[in-house]
A and B are shown apart, each in its own frame.
Chain A
Amino acid sequence: MATFLILAVVMIVGAVGVITLKQPVHAALALVGTLLTLAVTYVTLEAHFLAAIQVIVYAGAIMVLFLFVIMLLNIQGETPPAVLAWFRPLAYIVAVVAAAAIATTAFMEPRSLPDEVQIATALQGGGVEPIADVLFSDFLLAFQLVGVLLLTGIIGAVSLVQRKVVAVQEARADGATKELEHA
């Protein structure tokens, strides 16, 4: 119960941060925090594979895409970002603490892993194999439709963002004639 309460508090704080923070980058990072907490919650719900996928795909790929677009468009929030004086020292402290924690862990007495049968039973519920069994039998149609959806989505995204070829050629032609006039 304690684990759940801690996770719930962190998750709700992150979620409130997403909808209240002024800077889009801060809101995106708050969402990353929420998603990582959600991954830990998946572990407590015996969904180990989903927890890994959540970190890799959601907190990794999708949020990086978000941050990429925010920085590409250079969207500013409602107020200009404040330069915080205590930020740099805090960053150094965090770095030192993290390095010390990793170093201490490295030199700690190694604990023996539980035996293989125990691990296998613990991972029974949400491992790759049971999920693959369901995905490629009952959910086969959904799986294939998602494939089509992803293909359509990628083609749609590319055609939305791509500038018109004709316009680019005209711009180049204009540039060329101007250069000729200059010569």
Chain B
Amino acid sequence: MVATEYYVALSSILFAIGAVGVLTRRSAIMVFLSVELMLNAANLALVAFARQWSGAGSITALSGQTAVFIILALAAAEVAVGLGILVSIFRYRASTDVDALAEIRL
């Protein structure tokens, strides 16, 4: 059995890679993909913690997995709205470059 620390370390690596993607990519769709990566890194940590507490009774043990379930639904809603915004931006500008979207900057 692999220790929980390794899974959390893997999760942190994935999260860091996702954060780099969010900060460096210019296309909005790439930023979205990196955000998905970060969400999944958090999910991995939650599932690993859920296994760590698997001896602590049903409710405590499965809270982590249930939270992942809820995050999944949240990610679906986020993608639906985010891609909707992306499509409507693309209609006006024919580009998804996030650096070019500076109209509401003061």
Contact = CB atoms under 8 A, between A and B. Distances in A.
Contacts of A98: none
Interface of B is mostly: helix
A104 to B, nearest CB: 31
Kindly state the interface size class of chain A when it binds its partner: 35 or more
Nearest to A126: B65
B77 A19 contact: no
Contacts of B85: 160
Interface residues of B, number: 57
A66 B17 contact: no
Contact of A157 (B32, B43, B48, B81): B81
B73 interface: yes
A66 B83 CA distance: 8
Interface of A is mostly: helix
Contact of A46 (B27, B54, B67): B54
B44 to A, nearest CB: 6
Contacts of B50: 45, 47
Contacts of B44: 38, 41
